[in-house]
Structure 1
Amino acid sequence: MTDAISSILSQIRAHQTQAARMGDAAAGNAISPNALNPGGALPGADKTQGTGAAGFSETLSSALDSVSRTQQKSGELQQAFELGDPRADLARVMVAMQESQVAFRATVEVRNRLVQAYQDVMNMPI
């Protein structure tokens, strides 16, 4: 279990580094944020935040969306297998279900640590 969490955390760090590099490249090429998103700001993004690298809320939102997509893909494969779709073999279904389970557990661990950090900060003496 510890290896799985370490693996997920390293993947999150890699995505953060990649997002930071993409932000630096966008700033260096003078691409406006609206060029990538013609509809305006991303839903849930803090409008007071600068145009720097992805913020915490964006990173957390994209991670949750990724977990949601993984679970949705797993459910679709499971349903296709149950209906007898020849493209949905048992191995693919089982791997998708395990990926979904690991992603969900990692999300729960992150949530637990955020709650613990919040409680620690709230219990600090002034």
Structure 2
Amino acid sequence: MFFNLFHQYAHVSGSLKNVLSRQIHYITKPIPLLSVHHVLQPLFSDTSNMTKTGACQLLSKKEGQVLEVTIEERMLQLNVYGSYDTETAVFEILRNFKGDLLAIDYDHKRFGWIKPVKERKFV
């Protein structure tokens, strides 16, 4: 359900994109930009800048690995080229900081919560 909503938003235009944008805005919360930037900053040695749209971009290039994080008002985009260790480090930091984030991998059509809610067992 969530995957389809975000996937359609990424691939449509016109009035449908506007409708999907309003739906996404309704079910999402703003991301605390400065707080997320602060907790992720230790992973990034190369560059950190603000874009014209108000998004924050973090970039790190180490030993054949590239890690890029773009933090927008209601979306955090992660691009990793190299090993999964770098991606895992970012997810672990985000899990400890703010666990109610939904991760979506458009290329492999996978998604899941950064910190899943544990199922309660009632006796």
Length-normalised TM-score, structure 2:
0.25
Query: Relative contact order (alpha carbons < 8 A, sep ≥ 6): 1 or 2 greater?
Result: 1
* More strand per residue: 2
Larger radius of gyration between Structure 1 and Structure 2: 1
Quick check: which one's helix share is greater? 1
TM-score by length of 1: 0.25
